Amino acid sequence: MPDVQPFLLDPSNAWLLAPPPRRVPPNKLIVGAVEALFFPGFIMLGGAIAIFGMALQGAGEVKTSQIVCPLLLVPLTVALAALSLSLHSKRYRREMTLLRSGRAILGEVVSCTVNIESGPSTEGGHWTQETVTLEYAVTTPAGVLQTGTIVRISEEVRKGAAPRAGEAMAVLYLDDEKFLVL
């Protein structure tokens, strides 16, 4: 990475400017693992609640359909949980590969707008939200021009002015399908 200080859409990604291989911070590993492991659990819990609700619905006279329907939902719920775990773990592995092995390359800001909104909250305080819309262009190591728009919404308002068109920005790049605007 050249000595240019690129614009970072999310300043907490500054650690990704180091050359690979990188050590992924423990907080990134934990959050991804928790998502991958517990999201399917929520699906299973929802299925169990639905089955329990169906059983309670017919609390008086018990019919065969009241027993068979919930029993059919159990394998369906397990299959949905397995599919969800598979999709989450695939996304998690892809993200970890990008974070560990991707290389930081420079791109260019095409345009950037920052919109800051605030107002009273229901708890009596104030809320503030920053929306950054960044259009970018980056030439990959293979010489392909990648362009796109990314929107970042945050409750933290960044300090300093928005980047101007033509200013350097950073992209973590693994291949043409696996890259992350930093």
Q: Percent of the chain beyond pLDDT 70? A: 60
Q: What is the pLDDT of residue 136?
A: 93
pLDDT beyond 90 at 181? no
The arithmetic mean of pLDDT across residues 26-51, rounded, is: 60
Residue 2 predicted with pLDDT over 60: no
Peptide linkage before 141 cis (omega within 30 of 0)? no
Between residues 42 and 94, the one the model is more confident about: 94
Residue with tokens 């933290």: 156
Instruction: Convert the pLDDT of each residue in 41-86 to its tens digit.
Output: 566 666 666 666 666 655 555 555 555 666 666 677 777 766 766 6
The angle subtended at Cα 73 by Cα 69 and Cα 76, nearest 5°, is 145
Give mean pLDDT, residues 13-37.
68
Tell me the pLDDT tens digit for each residue of 119-163: 887 777 888 888 889 999 999 888 989 899 989 887 766 677 778
The predicted structure's pLDDT at residue 99: 80
Q: What is the model's pLDDT at position 27?
A: 63
Give domain limits for the chain: 26-100, 102-181
CB atoms within 10 A of CB 7: 21
pLDDT at 114 over 80: yes
Which ranges in the chain belong to alpha helices (H)? 26-57, 64-101
Summarize the confidence of residues 28-51 as an average pLDDT. Answer: 60
The chain-wide mean pLDDT, for the chain, equals 75
Helix (H, G, I), strand (E, B) or coil at 16: helix
